[in-house]
Amino acid sequence: MQINSENHPLRKAHILIVDDDPTILSLFKRAMKVASHNCTVAHSGKSALFMLSHTAFDLVITDINMPEMNGIELAQKVLTHFSADVIVMTGQAKGYQYDEIISIGASDFVEKPFSIQEIILRIRRVLRERRLKEETKNAHEELKEAYVDSIHRLVMASEFKDEDTGDHIIRIGDYSSLISRKLNQSDQFVENINYASPMHDIGKIGIPDMILLKPGKLTEKEFNIVKGHTLIGAKLLSQSKSRILQLAMEIALSHHEKFNGKGYPNGLSGERIPLAGRIVAIADTFDALISKRPYKDPYPPEMVYDIIKREKGAHFDPDITDILLDNFETFVDIRNESETLPVVGLENFKLSERDQICIQT
């Protein structure tokens, strides 16, 4: 998206003027009328905050020297709690340096006295920069949506035989980001794993359908072929500069490693397994057990809970296991958002032959 900030007309803005001097407020009203902007005035910082809590403003222009709450305090509150830009003005600049005002996040600093023409030019510049930031953000969001959509389509191409694939890949992202938040990971990590984790099984595109869709127990040879999807996936996702694809490669390679070192492809154990791989390992297993697959019906939640609890410290990281078990109903709710699970009793319910080898190996 090309942005031309010089030729694009500025839309009418809503501006809040804060000053305890009626003469200044009157001057601004005339100036805003000339500039065709909507203007609201406040006589104190307290009344300005009240107005901001009830009305959306594009720009706040505040005097520094006011009783009860000075303009610096007001500017800091505005920039912390609201989305408006701020211009600070004063007739007594002594004691305040330009860089100090800008450092709190204000967009400009104006010394009194000033002309109507000057303040209109200052406002125009700030609003132009504000609009440019908004357009840049929108362009970034559009690219991000296209990027994520491409990822999901790529994943679905590798697993299109699974009738639940579309919801499955979304759920894996939801489970993984929830676990990451509970582990107090950074917002960036939570976001990245939400996008990267759905690619965990992308390597299955290289596994024959007759093996992937086999309803019965896999032979040792067939299971060894299935294991290869981790290496295939890692190769497909390798050598990317994207942090998300780098994380996806790490996940694809490590999400079948086990905490006790008995997983594949590299037999890693404990914290030698990347954190993202340990997270997706339990998220993927939970969803696979509690959902219908070509080779099995969904397992009752009680059975899924017991299987995962039993694998604590063996298949799964103990801390991550505790998070899932402590929030088990939340995970079930995420699963039910896409499709309500059938109510199945535990009587005579057994693991499928396929899961017996996958879970025990």
What confidence tens digit (pLDDT) does each residue in 64-107 have? 889 889 999 999 999 999 999 999 987 765 556 666 777 788 88
Q: Are 334 and 195 found together in one domain?
A: yes
Q: How far apart are CA 110 and CA 143, in angstroms?
A: 37
- The mean pLDDT of 304-324, rounded to a whole number, is 97
Which region among 203-207, 229-233, 327-331 has the lowest average model confidence (pLDDT)? 203-207
Q: Are 104 and 199 found together in one domain?
A: no
Residue 142 lies in a domain: no
Q: For residue 202, which of 278, 266, 255 has the smallest C-alpha distance?
A: 255
Q: Are 95 and 164 found together in one domain?
A: no
Boundary residue ending a domain (119, 135, 151): 135
Count Cβ atoms below 10 Å from residue 143 Cβ, excluding itself.
11
Q: Are 25 and 126 found together in one domain?
A: yes
Is the peptide bond prior to 318 cis by the omega test (within 30 degrees of 0)? Answer: no
Q: Are 78 and 192 found together in one domain?
A: no
Please check the confidence at residue 338 and state whether its pLDDT lies above 80. Answer: no
Q: What is the pLDDT of residue 159?
A: 60
Q: What is the pLDDT of residue 4?
A: 42
pLDDT above 70 covers a percentage of the chain that reads 83
Residue 146 lies in a domain: no
Residue 291 lies in a domain: yes
Q: Are 303 and 206 found together in one domain?
A: yes
Please check the confidence at residue 136 and state whether its pLDDT lies above 70. Answer: yes
Q: Are 251 and 345 found together in one domain?
A: yes
Per-position b or e across 8-45, b if 16+ CB within 10 A of its CB: eeeeebebbbbbeeeebbebbeebbeebebebbbbbbb
- Mean pLDDT for all residues in the chain: 84
Q: What is the pLDDT of residue 317?
A: 98
Residue 143 lies in a domain: no
Residue 232 lies in a domain: yes
Domain count for the chain: 2
Residue 140 lies in a domain: no
Residue 148 lies in a domain: no
Q: What is the pLDDT of residue 117?
A: 83
Please check the confidence at residue 1 and state whether its pLDDT lies above 50. Answer: no
pLDDT above 90 covers a percentage of the chain that reads 49
Q: Are 187 and 44 found together in one domain?
A: no
Give the CATH number of the domain where residue 344 resides. 1.10.3210.10
Q: Are 167 and 299 found together in one domain?
A: yes
Q: How far apart are CA 359 and CA 316, in angstroms?
A: 11
- The mean pLDDT of 25-42, rounded to a whole number, is 87
Q: Are 82 and 210 found together in one domain?
A: no
Q: Are 211 and 316 found together in one domain?
A: yes
Q: For residue 164, which of 252, 330, 292, 281 has the smallest C-alpha distance?
A: 292
Between residues 347 and 116, the one the model is more confident about? 116
Give the CATH number of the domain where residue 101 resides. 3.40.50.2300
Between residues 257 and 93, the one the model is more confident about? 257
Q: Are 267 and 341 found together in one domain?
A: yes
User: Residue 338 sits in which domain range?
Assistant: 159-360
Residue 294 lies in a domain: yes
What confidence tens digit (pLDDT) does each residue in 200-210 have? 998 988 888 88
Token pair recorded at residue 180: 């990451």
Q: How far apart are CA 179 and CA 351, in angstroms?
A: 26
What confidence tens digit (pLDDT) does each residue in 156-183 have? 666 655 545 557 888 999 999 999 999 9
